[in-house]
């Protein structure tokens, strides 16, 4: 069984059509972040993408953010070849900050989300899957506050996979009276030239302290820049294979595991 996670930052239907010969179509479960669609077409777009990828079930929600185009929304979704016997939406803690927009400097308070579903998998049993999309321009403390509920939503008796876009960029965002300023805060550059951050390591340690295994450490998940923005954590699962794959016309790379 293969489970993947991907931030597309555009129309998922386009990404699927551009990557018909890729590992995307080998995913039994796919966690998608920043899935772009017209707001009036959100439900239909999910159905079309599920049909294209051969996924029989899907669960998603769009994130209500102040994008320049009011007709466009970005959302998150879970696509699966297996039945979803339980689904839930988790609204992550909102972080208020001042940021620069096209219209000028404005106070921003995004509502980031996490999705949870319990899948019924033959000869394996129930598996809980959580898909998250954390905020940008956060301090270390704020990122941990926003990440922590994605672990707490998991039932203690279920095997689980928690994954998604952690947005762990190589900066500590320092609040000022006007806006937040980026301060470089990577702890080291590895032999692979991947920027590792102090807050990413804290996220890994938090997950591991609660019985999870951090599957991806020190890997490039952004398509072009040497950044690890995404992650995946497992509990009660023996991972046989893992990988990070480049795709066409996506913002991030595909993270995937096999078990």
Which position has the higher pLDDT, 43 or 24?
24
State the residue range of the domain holding 28: 2-258
List residues bridging with 90 in a β-sheet: 114
Q: What is the pLDDT of residue 57?
A: 93
Q: How many CB atoms lie within 10 A of CB 249?
A: 14
CATH number at residue 181: 3.60.10.10
Q: How confident is the model over 124-164, as pLDDT tens digits?
A: 999 999 999 998 888 888 899 999 999 999 999 999 999 99
Of 38, 26, 1, which Cα lies nearest the Cα of 12? 38
pTM: 0.90
pLDDT at residue 191, as a whole number: 44
Number of domains comprising the chain: 1
Quick: pLDDT tens for 189-231.
544 556 656 678 889 999 999 999 999 998 999 998 888 999 9
As to burial, measured by CB atoms within 10 angstroms (0-12 exposed, 13-18 middle, 19+ buried), residue 70 is exposed
**Residue 164 contacts residue 151 (beta carbons within 8 Å):** no
Query: For position 198, what pLDDT does the model report?
Result: 67
Average pLDDT over residues 67-88: 82
- DSSP annotation of 252 reads B
From the centroid of its chain, how far is CA 143? 14
- DSSP conformational letter for 248: S
How many Å separate Cα 79 from the centre of its chain? Answer: 13
CB atoms within 10 A of CB 196: 19
- 125 CB-near residues (< 8 Å, 6+ apart): 159
Q: What is the pLDDT of residue 7?
A: 95
- Residue 120's nearest CA partner among 31, 57, 212, 162 is 57
Q: What share of the chain is helix, strand, coil (3-state, %, to 5)?
A: 20, 45, 35
């Amino acid at each position: 069984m293969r489970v993947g996670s991907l931030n597309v930052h555009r129309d998922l239907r386009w990404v699927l059509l551009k990557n018909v010969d890729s590992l995307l179509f080998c995913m039994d479960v796919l966690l998608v972040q920043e899935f772009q669609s017209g707001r009036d077409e959100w439900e239909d777009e999910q159905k079309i993408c599920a049909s294209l990828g051969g996924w029989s079930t899907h669960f998603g929600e769009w994130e209500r953010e102040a994008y320049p185009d009011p007709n466009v929304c970005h959302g998150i979704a879970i696509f699966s070849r297996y039945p979803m016997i339980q689904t839930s939406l988790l609204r992550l803690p909102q972080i208020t900050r001042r940021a620069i927009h096209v219209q000028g400097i404005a106070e921003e308070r995004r509502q980031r989300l996490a999705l949870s579903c319990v899948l019924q998998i033959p000869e394996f049993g129930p598996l809980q899957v959580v898909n998250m999309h954390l905020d940008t321009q956060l301090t270390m403390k704020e990122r941990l506050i926003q990440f922590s509920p994605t672990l707490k939503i998991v039932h203690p008796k279920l095997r689980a996979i928690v994954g998604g876009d952690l947005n762990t960029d190589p900066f500590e965002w320092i609040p000022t009276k006007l806006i937040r300023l980026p301060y470089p805060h990577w702890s080291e550059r590895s032999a692979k030239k991947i920027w590792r951050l102090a807050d990413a390591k804290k996220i890994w340690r938090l997950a591991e302290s609660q019985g999870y295994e951090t599957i991806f450490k020190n890997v490039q998940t952004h398509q072009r820049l040497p950044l690890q923005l995404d992650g995946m954590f497992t509990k009660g699962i023996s991972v046989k294979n893992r990988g990070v794959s480049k795709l066409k016309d996506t913002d991030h790379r595909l993270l995937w595991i096999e078990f």
